[in-house]
A and B are shown apart, each in its own frame.
Chain A
Amino acid sequence: METELIELARNGDEEAFRQIYQQTSGFVYNTARRIVGRDEDAEEVTQDVFIAAHRALKSFRGDAALRTWLYRITVNRALNKVKSFKSRMRETPYEDYMDTPQETMPDRNLLEQDADARAKALLDTLTPDFRACIVLRELEGLSYEEISQSLGINVNTVRTRILRARRQLAEIVKKGGSHAL
Chain B
Amino acid sequence: MRCDEIRELVASTFIDKECSAEERGMVEGHLSACPECRAFHQAVVRTTEIWHAAPAPLPAPSVWTNIQKALEPRPSVLATMRKMFEVFDGRHVGLYPRPAHVLATLVVMVVVGGVFWQHQKGDRAGNAEVSLSTIALAEERTVEEEIEENGFGSAAEQNL
Residues of A within 8 A of B (CB): 18, 21, 25-30, 33, 42-43, 46-47, 50-51, 54, 105, 108, 111-112, 115-116, 118-119, 122, 138-139, 159, 162-163, 166-167, 169-171, 173-174, 180-181
B54 surroundings in chain A (CB, below 8 A):
115-116, 118-119, 139
Q: Are B63 and A173 in contact (CB under 8 A)?
A: no
Flag if B67 contacts A180 (CB, 8 Å): no
Known: A47-B63, A47-B66, A171-B43. A118 touches B12 (CB 8 A): no
Q: Is the CB of B60 within 8 A of A138?
A: no
Nearest CB in chain B to that of A174: its residue: B43
B residues neighboring A (CB under 8 Å):
7-8, 11-12, 15, 39-40, 43-44, 46-48, 50-51, 53-60, 62-64, 66-67, 70-71
Which residues of the other chain, A, contact B51 by a CB distance below 8 angstroms? 119, 138-139
Chain B interface helix/strand/loop/mixed: helix
Q: 7 A-B residue contacts at CB 8 Å? A: A43-B59, A46-B59, A115-B50, A166-B44, A170-B11, A171-B43, A173-B43
Residues of A within 8 A of B46 (CB): 173, 180-181
The CA of A153 and the CA of B86, in the complex, are separated in Å by 57
The complex places the Cα of A119 from the Cα of B48 at a distance, in Å, of: 10
CB distance from B73 to the nearest CB of A (A): 10
B55–A116 CB distance below 8 A: yes
Task: Tell me the smallest distance from the CB of A163 to a CB of chain B, in Å.
Answer: 5
Given A46-B63, A139-B51, A26 and B11 contact (CB-CB distance below 8 Å):
no
Q: Which residue of B lies closest to A139 (CB)?
A: B51
Contact A50 B43, beta carbon cutoff 8 Å: no
**Bound: A159/B7 CA distance, A:** 14
Known: A50-B67, A122-B50, A174-B40. 15 other contacts (CB 8 A): A21-B67, A25-B58, A25-B59, A25-B63, A29-B63, A30-B56, A46-B59, A51-B70, A112-B55, A138-B47, A162-B12, A166-B11, A167-B7, A169-B44, A173-B43
